[in-house]
């Protein structure tokens, strides 16, 4: 304490001139900090802003007008109608597929992960440690690494080119199991499980009446991550499915790249009315749901995905 | 006797809860690896005897070394950029008062929507001077044609840029979250000791979130190693063949589906998977990330 007060005395002895200097330096440092942060924010927003504005314009307007200008709402309708010319409205199939595949994946992945995480955290599961280590390994290895090996199995099972070839592997969600294991073993106090057990609840009773009602935040986090991964997944559907009517939106977007004049002038400019505004609209349909989910979950991310789950 | 039975029932219930996940784990992680491994050492067109022939074929393929080089250079650019920007901006965000930075944090999350195939789409237009909002900046450097940007020597920077923008923003927000978990007492004590903002950031906060940053780098490395969609789509549309067999996963894909050499493709996939698993085991056993998670299991026993 005494050293602290001497410090203060010393500070007060500093001449007024230097203290203004220090303050001025503080202000300019602060201004520089804000500038850096704002610039990064601007660069973060521009690509998305462009993507949202592009379909409002015609191909000519896109090249002629200011890049971030707005065309008209009619532009979106025209782009949508043109997009539908591709293989008789194939885009609608892709949208529907993406929605229901991702829906099933999120539901199954969350249900499976919650049960497994709870089993690891609060029950007498045999080989718990081995299972936890295997889960950690599977969680760190990126899912893309499994895709080509999966192809061999999917073909052998006769699932090639079916919706299940995408949905089932996408429901395997080791990160979710780990998150829910951490949640059930640290956020919920163990005494709560014990109390329920003493009250005569069985294993399933404790899960449904004690653990599950307290898992709201966990379910939000699990749904967020599994949606994000599955909605945008490219490599898995690309490898295990080949026909247009089973594909998903992100892979469909890739097909539009290579088989329309939008990004491949060599395809022939008159072949299809699909140019930059149309392909931007398709991209926008993929991007907007992710954007909404991310912004809505901003609080979850800040609350510390790592701090909460990988805490030391 | 009764207690023994209760224990058995408990174990059976636990297994039932774990079973759905176990089935998926076996079906979609363990079995594919086993099957792919069998294919990789089985007889193929190039290696009729089986064994390590497919592996040797891959290692000697001229495309393998260049893909390794490309991916390595990509990681050398991408990883430090992520580390510096994510650490820097999350520390800046944390230094400024929280309520003012909400719009900034939301802005940083926006690029997360632009990933995978959408990233190629958007970044193509961002980098093509005819369409780009940054055309003015390109013109300053004398660049007016797309081909001046999209050429072989720039590819690695383009892919690093795409990957960087897709992930940096949400990692900034996540690391900002980690910074929020630093106990106030520690920061207060440092302030009492007369630490200024820079000392607080670099000597107190940075070391405290160091492990989260390392964790991020490891995950980013493991994912970056697998890069596929960006080079694949660029090569199959705007600039045909520009980044053909540029990455390891592209080569693996080419071997499997265009070269009809599934054995070699699986050999390459096995090698890449092995690298990822080794990285995972290092994190688990050589760092203290999951110590608490593992200790909890021990406590129970």
Residues 49-78 of B with CB under 8 A from A: none
Answer yes or no: is A19 within a domain.
yes
Residue of B nearest to A294 (CA): B109
Is B98 near chain A, with CB under 8 Å?
Answer: no
Nearest to A151 by CA among A141, A165, A137: A165
Per residue in B103-149, pLDDT (tens digit) is 898 999 999 889 889 999 999 999 999 899 999 999 999 898 888 89
Considering the domain architecture, whether residues A242 and A121 belong to the same structural domain is answered as: yes
- Chain B residues within an 8 Å CB radius of A34: 96
**Domain finish residue from A231, A259, A287:** A259
**Tokens read off for B25:** 């784990």
CA distances from A97 to A100, A166, B140 (A): 5, 10, 45
Question: What is the predicted pLDDT for the residue at B100?
Answer: 76
The H or E element containing residue A203 is helix A203-206
Distance between CA B165 and CA A47 in Å, rounded? 10
Answer yes or no: is A138 within a domain.
yes
- In this structure, the number of other CB atoms found within 10 A of the CB of residue B195 comes to 16
Answer yes or no: is A111 within a domain.
yes
Yes or no, beta carbons of B233 and A254 under 8 Å apart: yes
- Tracing tokens 């520089």 back to the chain, one arrives at A32
Does residue A149 register a pLDDT over 50?
yes
Considering the domain architecture, whether residues A66 and A99 belong to the same structural domain is answered as: no
Considering the domain architecture, whether residues A226 and A103 belong to the same structural domain is answered as: yes
Listed as own residue / partner, the contacts of A102-105 with beta carbons closer than 8 Å and 24 or more positions apart are A102/A227, A102/A230, A102/A231, A104/A167, A104/A171, A105/A167, A105/A170, A105/A171, A105/A226, A105/A230
What is the percentage of chain B residues whose pLDDT exceeds 90? 51
Answer yes or no: is A191 within a domain.
yes
- A280, A55 contact by CB (below 8 A): yes
Is B186 near chain A, with CB under 8 Å?
Answer: no
Residue spans per domain, chain B = 63-119+155-300
The whole domain housing A91 covers 87-259
- Chain A residues within an 8 Å CB radius of B150: none
**Domain finish residue from A32, A52, A79:** A79
**Tokens read off for B243:** 């980044």
Distance between CA B28 and CA B22 in Å, rounded? 10
Kindly report the CATH number that applies to the domain delimited by B63-119+155-300. 1.10.3720.10
Per residue in B33-59, pLDDT (tens digit) is 999 999 999 887 777 777 888 999 899
Considering the domain architecture, whether residues A11 and A112 belong to the same structural domain is answered as: no
Per residue in B238-273, pLDDT (tens digit) is 788 889 999 999 999 999 988 778 999 999 999 999
Considering the domain architecture, whether residues A69 and A171 belong to the same structural domain is answered as: no
Out of A126-130, A133-137, A146-150, A256-260, which region has the weakest mean confidence (pLDDT)? A256-260
Yes or no, beta carbons of B114 and A113 under 8 Å apart: no
* Burial status of residue B1 (CB atoms within 10 A of its CB: 0-12, 13-18, 19 or more): exposed
Yes or no, beta carbons of A146 and B180 under 8 Å apart: no
Q: For position A205, which CATH number holds?
A: 1.10.3720.10
Comparing CB atoms, the residue among B89, B126, B265 nearest residue A37 is B89
**Domain finish residue from A31, A49, A79:** A79
Considering the domain architecture, whether residues A72 and A112 belong to the same structural domain is answered as: no
Quote the pTM value. 0.87
Question: What is the predicted pLDDT for the residue at B63?
Answer: 94
Nearest to A276 by CA among A287, A263, A286: A263
Comparing CB atoms, the residue among B32, B132, B192 nearest residue A152 is B32
Per residue in B153-187, pLDDT (tens digit) is 999 999 999 999 999 998 998 888 888 888 889 98
Is B24 near chain A, with CB under 8 Å?
Answer: yes
Yes or no, beta carbons of B253 and A148 under 8 Å apart: yes
- Chain A residues within an 8 Å CB radius of B36: 148-149, 152
Question: What is the predicted pLDDT for the residue at A43?
Answer: 94
Per residue in A22-68, pLDDT (tens digit) is 667 777 888 888 899 999 999 999 999 999 999 999 999 998 999 99
Number of domains in chain A: 2
Considering the domain architecture, whether residues A119 and A17 belong to the same structural domain is answered as: no
Considering the domain architecture, whether residues A91 and A125 belong to the same structural domain is answered as: yes
Considering the domain architecture, whether residues A144 and A10 belong to the same structural domain is answered as: no
Answer yes or no: is A300 within a domain.
no
Taking the CA of residue A4 and the nearest CA in chain B, the distance in Å comes to 8
Chain B interface, best mutation among A7, A113, A149, by max B CB count within 10 A? A149
Distance between CA A210 and CA A281 in Å, rounded? 46
Does residue B206 register a pLDDT over 70?
yes
The H or E element containing residue B262 is helix B262-286
- Chain A residues within an 8 Å CB radius of B277: 137, 141
């Amino acid at each position: 304490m005494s050293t602290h007060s001497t410090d203060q005395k010393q500070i007060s002895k500093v001449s007024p001139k230097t203290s203004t200097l220090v303050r001025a330096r503080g202000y300019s440092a602060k201004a520089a900090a804000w500038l850096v942060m704002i610039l990064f924010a601007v660069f973060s927003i521009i690509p998305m802003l462009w993507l949202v504005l592009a379909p409002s314009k015609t191909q000519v307007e896109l090249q002629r007008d200011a890049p971030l200008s707005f065309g008209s709402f009619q532009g979106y309708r025209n782009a949508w109608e043109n997009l539908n010319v591709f293989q008789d409205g194939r885009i609608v199939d892709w949208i529907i597929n993406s929605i229901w595949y991702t829906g099933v994946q999120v539901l199954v992945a969350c249900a499976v992960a919650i049960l497994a995480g709870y089993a690891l955290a609060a029950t007498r599961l045999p080989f718990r440690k081995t299972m936890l280590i295997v889960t950690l390994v599977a969680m760190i290895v990126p899912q893309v690494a499994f895709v080509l090996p999966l192809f061999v199995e999917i073909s052998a099972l006769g699932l090639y080119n079916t919706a299940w070839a995408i949905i089932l592997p996408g429901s395997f969600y080791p990160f979710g199991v780990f998150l829910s294991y951490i949640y059930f073993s640290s956020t919920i106090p163990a005494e709560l499980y014990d109390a329920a057990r003493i009250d005569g609840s069985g294993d399933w009773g404790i899960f449904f009446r004690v653990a599950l009602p307290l898992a709201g935040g966990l379910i939000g986090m699990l749904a967020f991550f599994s949606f994000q991964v599955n909605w945008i997944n490219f490599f898995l559907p690309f490898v295990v499915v080949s026909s247009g009517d089973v594909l998903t939106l992100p892979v469909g977007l890739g097909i539009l790249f290579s088989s329309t004049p939008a990004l491949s002038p060599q395809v022939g400019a008159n072949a299809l009315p699909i140019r930059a505004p149309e392909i931007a609209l398709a991209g926008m349909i993929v991007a907007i749901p992710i954007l909404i989910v991310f912004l809505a979950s901003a609080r979850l991310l800040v609350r510390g995905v790592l701090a909460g789950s990988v805490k030391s | 006797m009764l207690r023994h039975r209760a224990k058995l029932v408990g174990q059976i219930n636990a297994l039932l809860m774990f079973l759905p996940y176990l089935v998926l784990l076996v079906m979609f992680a363990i079995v594919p690896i086993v099957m792919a491994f069998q294919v990789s050492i089985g007889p193929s067109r190039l290696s009729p005897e089986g064994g390590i022939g497919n592996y040797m074929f891959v290692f000697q393929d001229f495309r393998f070394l260049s893909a390794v080089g490309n991916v390595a250079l990509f990681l050398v650019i991408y990883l430090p950029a992520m580390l510096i920007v994510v650490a820097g901006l999350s520390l800046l965000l944390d230094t400024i008062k929280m309520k003012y930075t909400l719009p900034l944090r939301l802005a940083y999350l926006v690029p997360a929507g632009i990933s995978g195939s959408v990233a190629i789409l958007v970044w193509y237009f961002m980098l093509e001077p005819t369409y780009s909002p940054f055309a003015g900046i390109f013109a300053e450097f004398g660049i007016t044609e797309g081909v001046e940007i999209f050429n072989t020597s720039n590819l690695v920077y383009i892919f690093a840029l795409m990957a960087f923008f897709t992930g940096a923003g949400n990692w900034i927000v996540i690391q900002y979250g980690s910074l929020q978990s630093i106990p106030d007492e520690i920061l207060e004590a440092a302030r009492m000791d007369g630490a200024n903002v820079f000392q607080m950031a670099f000597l107190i906060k940075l070391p405290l979130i160091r492990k989260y940053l390392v964790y991020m780098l490891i995950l980013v490395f493991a994912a970056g190693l697998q890069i596929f969609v960006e080079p694949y789509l660029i090569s199959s549309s705007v600039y045909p063949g520009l980044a053909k067999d540029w990455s390891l996963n592209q080569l693996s894909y080419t071997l499997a589906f265009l070269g009809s050499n599934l054995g070699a493709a699986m050999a390459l996939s096995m090698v890449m998977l092995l690298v990822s698993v080794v990285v995972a085991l290092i994190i688990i056993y050589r760092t203290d990330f999951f110590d608490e998670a593992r200790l909890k299991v021990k406590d129970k026993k």
